[in-house]
Chain A
Amino acid sequence: SAQEGVEVRSVAIVTPASRTNQGWDQQGVDNLIRVGEELDVDVEVAENLGYDDITPVLLDLASDDVDLIVCHASGYQTVCPEFAAAEGVPVVVIENPEAIQPGLVADIETQAQEAAYLAGVMAGNETTSGTVGIVVTGQPPTWNFMTVGFAEGLKAARPDARLVYTSVGEGTYDDAAAARQVTDTVLAAGADIVFGMGDGAAFGMIQAIREHNQQSPGQPPVRFIDVIGDKSGNEEAADLLLTSVLFDYTAAYTQMIADLEAGTFGQVYTMDLSNGGVNLLETKLAIRSETTEAVAAARSGIESGAIQVSSVGDAKGVDQRLRELFPT
């Protein structure tokens, strides 16, 4: 279709879970609202939509004349392009580069494996027990990318490390109780750093670690690596937050709106280390200077292309890659 610039007055975001879920959904919504404020663009939020057919909500948004809809879940990557094609409203999907169409469909690649790699390097340098845990709530592409990135970083930093990978189960992003039980077990296996990927469920992991640390005074405390957001505002969490793989959509969103106005909408926006789309959070916890150096070295290695981090999005691939890296 012929591309023409439009003035963007309002944008919308649709999310599967609650906008206050302390994770994926919240980060997208918060970032879009920030961009909206900066650019003086209205932001409509439709949250908690699950994975049912969201077309009526998209239609409802379209009837409110939004100029762009951010479909903030990889689970929406088929319904949104279909909708865009039918209604002519531009949409942004996640993790589906195949779907892009000039003027209609753009794609965000939240391939956080590079930042996760750095987190892995950090964990490898900081672990004293040599055992590091990963706890995931389900196995969506975003988590999978990070799992493999983290594992590769860990392996590079500490080849003899042991990695304990556990999944709480399908769709348990907010099942804090189950996450807590799983994390307890990971801690029992001797992990002293836990890389946890979950939304609300992350608090179950944090509680498990807090309690574990309280129960074992005198031992080096277990620390937590978070994803997506910054929980250091929470005092209790801050005490054990080693770092977080931060997602920052603001640049991508700003760029998209600009592209829409310029008539160049419809590309793949990749969030990576170099453009600041993903990053590591600096927290108040003291880390060794060697660790800081190793992470910096890894970062330049990635930026120079000397280090290639695998990009693995599917669950099977994750299992395979982990077995290669950490054979038992």
Chain B
Amino acid sequence: MALIGGMPQHAGDAERQERRDGELSPDLIRISGVTKIYSGVVANDNIRLGVAPGEVVGLLGENGAGKSTLIAILSGLTAPSRGLIEVGGRSFSPNSPADALREGIATAYQHGALVPTLSVDEQLHLANVEDDDTIRTLLREMDRSRTVRELSVGERQLLEIARAVGRTPRVLLLDEPTSTLEASQVEMLFDVIRQRRSAGRATVFVTHKLGEALAICDRIVVMRRGAVVDELRPTAGNWPAGTEDRLLGAMFGADPGAMTGNAAVTKRRPGAPAGNGSVVLSVGRVVDTGPAARHRPVGVSLTVRAGEIVAIAGIQGQGQRELGKVLAGYRPCRGAVSVNGTALSGKGAREFAGAGVGYLTGDRRGEGIVARMSITANLLLKRQREEGAQRFGILRARAIREAARREIAAWGIRPPDPGRPAGTLSGGNMQKVLLARELVREPVLLVADNPTHGLDVRSQVRVAEALRSVANRGGAVILLTADLDEALRLSDRVAVMNAGRLSPLGPTAAADRAELSRWMAVGW
């Protein structure tokens, strides 16, 4: 039963809550009628939710559903426009994160709250974290004298979790804590959460990964367009059959079939020229010569043909990002690179782009979006010098506005407000903006760096479709990803990168998952 519509849902919610109050200890946190409005956008809509001691509550919802907003309100980052929160039975209206911490609420933020220039130890000290067993376990593989900046993305995420867990809070809020973690690290985190459960401490777990939510949560709450739309709990320790469909339905609205039916779209179009199409990209013994990197690509050779998606899987920081930049002309290299027969060795990003190379950055906020500029401007970027956008160096305002409106509609960017600063978009919507502006240029080769990172399932599908459409149109795609399953799911051929070296490239259909994952960890 998917709960759609306003009233009944709240009634049912209240009922459930009352029932639970009877059987469980009283809620640690009780949220009633919380609404948050950002200049017209209802980010949280009349939310009612309780969290009991020892409970692990999963919070799911598509990009922009309002999960992080709720976390922000509970963390004291922002005040609700309306509504009441109680913690331990007392009214709670934090002025700052400090107030929330005092009440025993600690948060690992979606985008982290670390100081790049501090060492790991200094960072923990800053956050008043005691160095206990839990911390030592979580950080056991980390060189603690290194600065946060020098850590890999995954290590940073672990540290962010440790920073919050280390305060042994009554309530731990985790906003997408596993987006860049490896399986073993996720398991480590789950151990910590289980310990907390047995100690009677509550955890709120925001994620886009249904599997993880089902594995660890005692209850799953689904948000959609700011409101809580569904709430599920296992019966007798097991999730009932069809739970996934129900979750997806609640997350994305009426038609869960849209999520599974897309498999066809993401697979190669029958009759597309894959594998034997013309050579789009040819790379011979390329050595990255750009600014210092933890691992720079060395001796990379690669041929990519029209119509195929080639995935390069690797743990974050093994040199895939650098390789992506080399292949899009953003980092200099030695060796031979040619696109559609045009030699591009020694050329810059503009020549690469001129030859039809598109690039989807892996650092959306850092180097993708211009946060304080409008969605329109962000959609325009990279094309601003093209015919349709300008005449004699003067921007064609109307044409640009219309193009923006079209793309906002076509990609379902939300909120559909062309003038809104792009920095206020949710991650998924930012990615749509960046994808939209790459795809209108109809790239011959699209280099996509971790394009689904942080995206909800539907957005992930949307991205996958977009990549496949490039291939189906006769272009080629290089998909750099930290997620081996994604690599296997989306690609035609796959290779692994480890310590700057590229493994042999083979057809995905014949790939051995276990072997590839070993390669990712230790090389070959």
Complex: A in contact with B (CB within 8 Å): no
Partner-B contacts on A (CB < 8 A):
none
- Which B residues have a C-beta under 8 Å from some C-beta of A? none
